[in-house]
Structure 1
């Protein structure tokens, strides 16, 4: 197939694009390579995609452009006919949304609208896009299930991603565009984002500096290894959403619709206390962390826990990489990439 992967220089986008190339798909990647975090890391990922292309598949093309610019999106779709679109480009980060909400409007609302319009206009067979576990917000009913409402986000980032889900439904209903939204749960692993906890903790421990644990370290998170996320994304993309003839409008299921629209969690289905996550990192590094306990931060969810039964039933996949194994792989990569082995 010919697949468009947006955010191809990003953490998840890179891993998804690489897997598609390795199995022989033709891939077009697009990314603005902005400076939200180190652009050199993004360019390093892109160099690996070029290498994967030379080794495994002759079909890879990269476009440097901002999806919020409609002309960039229109030009991409005019030059290429896609069988699938995997939309992973977004402004990420819970805490940054408190500082710069306009960046989220541009990347997560304007750019997303451009993608919906392009997919509709070109007759794409399936749009798969990134959402987040943060949409569950004030919900404390564990595990988080797609079949229950998620209408009380606690920060603007989550609100924009919930908006994406609802915008997709309107296009699925009005135009028959098959869409699948994927709620990612705390993704980590090699080539990760430097603003995320595992990266920050590793850097601080190696430097002998304290690490900050908010909510006094009492958070639990459903940490999900990047390879598991990439596998789930591709399996969902390979199985387009279809109309649900059994959908009952008098008792609506928030995860499905009479339109070709659906929502899946992708998580490890195994919440881990933040302090246990740090212990796994200490074991992998062979060093103890200096811990600074701090109060709960504004916008943070106390706990996350993914019910992944819907994903398993639909595509036959359930993430299973343990935190100890995944953190160990991250540390191996980090020490190699930054020359601290």
Structure 2
């Protein structure tokens, strides 16, 4: 083999090896490998800001008090108490406040005070350069789903889908056991403690075991992000869905969107959380149950599916580590989800 052909062989072989390795990584993590922000320790600071809807200083008081009792410090953002109609301040105020939290090296996690509406108005103006270099936990759910999925889709960084300040009980001693358990799950996740959640058996469940990165959240926010830089690739993932105050026809439309865009095609598993339904008008009923609607969209697939998982706009809304690997197990006794 002459030198020219030998060099050509080396280049081709090297390229083949690189492609092979890349394909191996791609098959395990179709978007990108996940990154876990540093877990919090006593004395670390959690920033509290309102990037979506309005919330007052009084309303976050119980959350601040409890977080401090866990041994963490808190930094209250300037948007707390700010109001621009339904929003927690103007778009510029919310961008600046969240940006300060992202860039401040002393802030180790950012808890969104509440959801509502507003992330979509500011997501493209946020600068994640420092966040990429020094990831931190972003905490929240509902409207914050867009932020979770944007962060994972673009940077492969894990975040926490959980209750926010407006869900903390006013009097901890009078809280229901389930409220206490779900709030404490936030501390467990951001502190790096292992978590395992279970759900009772549902006759609509599809038995099986799946291992993959967990992504998802609020269905309407996932649909809204379709075709944008915040869209998620679900191939090889465990997808979880929840929503609230939607009619059945609306859920059907959104789920058809997910199906038509291929988001159900190559899942490892599907988790259906809480769905608070808005009643159909009398005489204008949709005629299918939520379970019917979902099972219709995934009938040709054989991955495991569980219903009634404790996540969503409900009391039993546990903290989930989005963008991190989990094991989903579904059998005749119910379902379990374990972070790896």
What's the TM-score once normalised by structure 1's chain length? 0.37
Structure 1 or 2: more strand by fraction: 2
Higher helix share: 1
